[in-house]
Structure 1
C-alpha cells in the first residue's frame, strides 16, 4: 500500500510479534499515517532508527535481548521521543506500563492476550488518534517532573491528622503526561491535605495499579475509588478506568458515585463528568484543577465549576507534556488562574483555607 505523499508523523513499531507488527502497520496505514519501519526488538530498532529517527515510537514492553522499559529509559536520557506503550491487560502488563509512564512514555494502548489481530483492528481509530496526540507531546523523564517544596503553606510532616468531615474538596483532571505530573504533586502533600478526587485517562485495570503506586510514595492515602467512598482529608480517590466518577453531598459529607454509561468528551472516565458533579455538590467549597492532556475533556466542566463559585486553575503550557486540555479551559475562561506544575501543591493546600494559593513565583499566563 502506498504511503502518504507528505507523511507526518513518522512512526516506528517495536514488537517481538510479527503478527502485531503487521496488524499495527496495516491499521495505521489505513488511517493515513506513515509507518516508516518496524523491528522485533530494541537492538534492531536502534540500528535502523539511528539513520532516520521517528517522530513517534509504538513500543511493546516484553521482548527478548532488551526489554521495552530498558530501551525507553535509554532513549529518554539520550533522545526524548514520544512513546506509546502497547501493553496487555494483565496485572504484570499494568505494572510494566506504569513503570514506562514514569520513565517518560506519553500514552498506553492495550492489546488483548487472545485474538490480538482482531482486537487491534477494531481499535485502529483509537490507536491512530493516540499516535496523532503523541506527536504533539513533549516527553519528560521522571527526574524533570518535580514539584517545589510547599513548606510555606503546609503544616509540618509530623503534624497529627484529623480525619474530619471536610467542607472542601479538590477535583483534578488530567490525561497525557498526567501520571508523572500527579506523582510530582501528590508526593509532596502532607498527610492532612484536603480530600482529592482525580480523573486520569487510563484503561480499565490500570487505575488500581496506578493508585497503588502513588500510595507507596505519598504521605496521603491514594486508592482507586469505590462506589460510596467518603471524601475526607488525607485521601485521594482515582476514578476507575472504564467508569465515570461523580461526587454527591450526603448530609455534611461528600461521597463518590461510580457509574457506567457512554463516553463523555470521548472518555470514560471523563473529567467533565466529575467537574460538573463537583460544581453541583460543592460549588464554592471546591477547587478544580485541569492539568496536562490532549483534547478538551474537562474544559466545559471546569467552566461550570467556576460559574458555581469554585476556584479554578489550569496548568501552564511550559510545564505540560501536552497543553491541549488546559489550553481549552483557558480559552473558555474556565480557569481563574494559570499555574506551573510546581505550584499546584500550593493550590491544593490553599483550598483547605478557602483562599487562592499564594504564588511563590510569577505564574504563566
Structure 2
C-alpha cells in the first residue's frame, strides 16, 4: 500500500504538532496542517489528502460545516478528533452522519500525554479511514425526507400487521461506516419488523446519541439498551458503548442482558458475544447480518447462528465502506447470502415473513 497522505485541521498548535509527529513516526505522510478550514481548503486543492483529521470547534468555520463541504466537493475519508462532552457527542454523531468514517476522543485533561501515546487509537483510525470506500458511503446516505412526505418503507405482510410481540429476532453487527449504513436500513423498515438487537462499535455516550438521532428519523422505536429491555416488533436496541449485550429468553419473551466485562477481541460491546447468544436463544427463529466494518468481529457469531438454523447474510463489498467484517463472515461460512445495502431492508422483511419455528 502506498504511503497515506494526511491533512490535519485543528485550531490548537499543540494538537497539530503532536498529531503530525505521531503520524509521521508511524510512517504516515502529513502533507499539511491548518488552524481552520479556510486555511486548509486552498492547500488541499493543490495536494488533496487521502485522509483528513478534523477538529469540530474552530474559528471562522466549524468542522461539521467544512465536512459537509468536503463531502459535497470531493468525498474524502475523515477522522474526527474532538473532545468528548455531551454536546461533543451529539456533534460527533452529526459528523458521522454527514460522512466522517471515524473519530477519536481527545481528553479534556492530559491532552499532551494522550497525543504522545502511541496507543491512543489515532494511527489505527487514520489507517482504517484510508481503506474506506467513499463511493459506498455516498450511496448509503439516505435521501432527506421532505416535511409531510411519506417515508419509503418495505410493505409489511398482512399477518404481521397486528403483531404485538415477535418470535423473530434480528441481530446486526456493524462498525466502521455504520452510522450512515444503519440509517439507510432502519429508515426503510416498517414498525412491523421483528425486534432488532445491534452492536455498533462505539465508546460510551455515543450509542445513546446515535439511538436518539435514529429514533427521530425512523418509524421504529430506537433505543440504547438497558438491562432487561424486551425485544419486540418495531423496537431497535443498540448495545451501549463500553458494555456487552446478549439475548436471553424469559418465558415466551426475549429480553437483553447488558453487562460489564473485559474486552473481547478488542471490542466492548462485542458482536460475537451478541450473535452467539442469539444463536443459543433464538436458533432457527433468528436473522443475523454482518455489515460494514473493519476486522472480524461477528464472523464467528454469525457462523453459530447459521449452524443453529438461523437466516444469515453479509453486506456485499460494493456497498460497504469497509468490507473487513463481512468478508470474514463469508470466509467463516456463516453468511447464507451476500446482500447489497439497497436490498437489505427487503431481505430482512422477506426473512422475517418465513415460517416461525415453535420454541
Taking structure 1 as the reference length, the TM-score comes to 0.90
Per-residue CA deviations over 1:4-34 (Å, capped at 9, x if unaligned) read: xx96111111110111112212222232322
1:54-84 residue CA offsets vs partner (Å, 9 max, x unmatched): 1111100111111111111111111111000
| 1:89-118 superposed Cα distances (whole Å, 9 cap, x missing partner) | 111111111111111111111111222222
Give the 5 Å matches for 1:255-270. 255-270=255-270
Instruction: Report runs of 4+ in structure 1 exceeding 4 Å deviation.
Output: 140-144, 146-150, 152-156
Classify 1:58/1:87 alpha carbon distance in 2 versus 1 (closer, same or farther; 3 Å): same
Q: Please state if 1:309 is matched with 2:290.
A: no
The match for 1:361 is none
Partners of 1:32 and 1:124 in 2: CA distance: 15
CA deviation after TM superposition for structure 1 residue 153, in Å: 4.8
Q: Structure 1 residue 335 and structure 2 residue 335: aligned? A: yes
Are 1:105 and 1:139, in contact at CA under 8 Å, matched by a contact in 2? no
Q: Structure 1 residue 28 and structure 2 residue 23: aligned?
A: yes
Contact in 2 for aligned 1:75/1:81 (Cα 8 Å)? yes
Equivalent in 82, 89, 94 of residue 94 of structure 1: 89
2:106 pairs with 1:111: yes
Say which of 123, 135, 138 aligns to 2:133: 138
Aligned residue number for residue 147 of structure 2:
none
Kindly state the Cα deviation for residue 246 of structure 1 after the two structures are TM-superposed.
0.7
- Deviation string 1:117-161 (CA, Å, 9 cap, x unpaired) is 2233336452111111110102256675349955455569xx965
- Verify the 8 A CA contact 1:98 1:210 in the aligned structure 2: yes
How many residues are aligned here?
348
Corresponding position of 2:284: 284
Q: Could you tell me how far apart the structure 1 residues matched to 2:290 and 2:311 are? A: 12
5+ long unaligned stretches in structure 1: 1-5, 357-365
Change (3 A) 1:161 1:71: farther
Q: Tell me how far apart the structure 1 counterparts of residues 120 and 106 of structure 2 sit (CA, whole Å).
A: 14
Per the alignment, residue 44 of structure 1 pairs with: 39
| 1:76 paired to 2:71 | yes
Deviates more, 1:64-73 or 1:27-36: 27-36
* Deviation of the 1:163 alpha carbon: 2.4
Q: Which residue of 2 aligns with 1:347?
A: 347
Would you say 1:163 and 2:158 are equivalent positions? no
1:359 is matched with which residue? Answer: none
For residues 252 and 145 of structure 1, do their structure 2 counterparts lie closer, same or farther at Cα, with a shift above 3 Å needed?
same
User: Does the 8 Å contact 2:154/2:345 carry over to 1?
Assistant: no
Q: Secondary structure at the match of 1:50?
A: helix
For residues 191 and 207 of structure 2, what CA distance do their matches in structure 1 show? 22
The Cα RMSD (Å) is: 2.2
1:77 is paired with a residue whose SS is: helix
1:151–1:236 distance in 2 versus 1, CA, 3 Å: closer
1:153–1:346 contact (8 Å) kept in structure 2: no
Unaligned runs of 5+ in 2: 144-150
CA distance in 1, matches of 2:187, 2:134: 20
TM-score, scaled to structure 2: 0.91
The equivalent residue for 1:13 is: 8
Write the distance in 1 (CA, Å) between the matches of 2:139 and 2:326: 23
- Compute the displacement of 1:354 (Å): 3.0
Aligned to 1:363: none
CA–CA distance in structure 2, aligned partners of residues 323 and 128 of structure 1? 19
**Are 2:246 and 1:250 equivalent residues in the alignment?**
no
Change (3 A) 1:21 1:69: same
Task: Check if 1:192 corresponds to 2:187.
Answer: no
SS in 2 for 1:300: helix
Equivalent positions of 1:208-247 (< 5 A) are 208-247=208-247
